[in-house]
């Protein structure tokens, strides 16, 4: 059996930064620190940080007075920031800088007198955070059909922004539908789309031409991991999302000659290695790497943690 590893795969710079923020906060301030929502959508990462003394909460009301609160990589609504201030909680913000950039774009467009259309998935924490950051009307669309249903006149001054875990390819048709319908609409340049999302998706597309089955290591609630699986399936390759080796059904992969293996942006490399080890139970494995983009993006840590 052959296994071809996608490149790039796994942790992006925003996830590396968020995890490091929790680790450094623990080192500097001691346990416990309180993280609002899963710092990134991965059970393994969350459990490892819990073992080091991080507590994960969904509401700031669960954080004891005076304790340090960390906002997750997905970002938060303005109301959450205000709640932290009211509760007197010192906050460390692990919002990915690329998510923060989308917030800034939205605020800028509203300042220019435009209503904002957000292309994204309802209910995702990043989408809730972005909608709660933009100080004006925000319309959430997920598809071309949603664009047709928008209850707005066609000459409304509009701007669009996108959820970061959607790639240029994902948003292309929705943006085209927006531009077809609305006469006064602007949006960010496509180079503003998250590099990590785009690179991981391009790598899966390349992988899908070479393999007869794709495994994506990632959590069920990880938007970008789900999208990687969908891209494999759309290319006609049976594709499965597994959290870790415990979810690998060897009977499902037994007959594959070449397996493509990748991981979502919040899945650590150790889980990929464990899946490879599990596959070795079926016999000798030839593991190779599909050449792809080598990423060197790094995001600056909050200054209060630079000395931790």
Site of interaction with ligand SF4 (CB under 6 A): 12-15, 73, 96, 98-99, 164-165, 194, 196-197, 224, 265
263: enclosing H helix or E strand: strand 258-263
Q: Of 177 and 196, which has the nearer Cβ to ligand SF4?
A: 196
Q: Which of 126, 230, 269, 304 is catalytic?
A: 126
38 noted as active-site residue: no
Q: Of 115 and 199, which has the nearer Cβ to ligand SF4?
A: 199
Number of residue whose CB is nearest ligand SF4 = 14
How far is 240 from 236, CA to CA, in rounded Å?
Answer: 12
CB 299 within 8 A of CB 13: yes
Q: Of 229 and 256, which has the nearer Cβ to ligand SF4?
A: 229
Q: Of 130 and 208, which has the nearer Cβ to ligand SF4?
A: 130
Rounded to the nearest whole angstrom, what is the least distance from the CB of residue 266 to ligand SF4 in the complex?
A: 8
CB 135 within 8 A of CB 159: no
Q: Of 14 and 106, which has the nearer Cβ to ligand SF4?
A: 14
At residue 149, the 3 state secondary structure works out as helix
Strands (DSSP E) contained in 48-169 are 54-57, 69-71, 91-93, 115-119, 138-141, 158-162
CB 118 within 8 A of CB 106: yes
Strand partners, 159: 116, 186
141: tokens are 């669309």
Q: How many CB atoms lie within 10 A of CB 210?
A: 13
Q: Say how far residue 235 (Cα) sits from the centre of its chain.
A: 22
Rounded to the nearest whole angstrom, what is the least distance from the CB of residue 211 to ligand SF4 in the complex?
A: 24
Rounded to the nearest whole angstrom, what is the least distance from the CB of residue 186 to ligand SF4 in the complex?
A: 21
The closest alpha carbon to 282, from 308, 259, 305, 307, belongs to: 259
Rounded to the nearest whole angstrom, what is the least distance from the CB of residue 169 to ligand SF4 in the complex?
A: 15
CB 119 within 8 A of CB 162: yes
Rounded to the nearest whole angstrom, what is the least distance from the CB of residue 272 to ligand SF4 in the complex?
A: 17
235: tokens are 């290319």
Give catalytic residues, as residue numbers: 126
């Amino acid at each position: 059996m052959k296994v071809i590893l996608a490149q790039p795969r796994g942790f992006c710079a925003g996830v590396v930064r968020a995890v490091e923020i929790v680790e450094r906060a623990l080192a500097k301030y001691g346990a416990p620190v309180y993280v609002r929502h899963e710092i990134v959508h991965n059970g393994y990462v969350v459990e490892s940080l819990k073992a080091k003394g991080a507590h994960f909460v969904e509401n700031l009301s669960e954080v004891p007075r005076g304790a340090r609160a960390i906002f997750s990589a997905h970002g938060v609504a303005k109301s959450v920031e205000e709640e932290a201030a009211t509760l007197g909680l010192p906050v460390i913000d692990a919002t990915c800088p690329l998510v923060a950039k989308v917030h800034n774009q939205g605020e800028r467009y509203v300042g220019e007198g435009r209503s904002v259309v957000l292309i994204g998935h309802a209910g995702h924490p990043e989408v809730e955070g972005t909608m709660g950051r933009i100080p004006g009307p925000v319309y959430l669309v997920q598809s071309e059909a949603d664009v047709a249903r928008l209850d707005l006149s066609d000459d409304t001054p509009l701007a669009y922004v996108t959820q970061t875990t959607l790639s240029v390819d994902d948003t292309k048709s929705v943006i085209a539908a927006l531009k077809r319908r609305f006469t006064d609409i602007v949006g960010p340049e496509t180079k503003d789309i998250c590099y990590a999302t785009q690179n991981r998706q391009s790598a899966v597309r390349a992988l899908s031409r070479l393999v007869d089955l794709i495994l994506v290591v990632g959590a069920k609630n990880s938007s970008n991991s789900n999208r990687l699986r969908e891209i494999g399936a759309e290319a006609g390759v049976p594709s499965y999302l597994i959290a870790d080796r415990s979810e690998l059904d060897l009977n499902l992969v037994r007959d594959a000659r070449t397996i493509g293996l990748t991981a979502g942006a919040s899945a650590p490399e150790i889980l990929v290695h464990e899946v490879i080890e599990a596959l070795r139970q079926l016999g000798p494995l030839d593991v190779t790497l599909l050449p792809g983009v080598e990423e060197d993006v790094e995001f600056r840590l909050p200054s209060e943690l630079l000395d931790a």
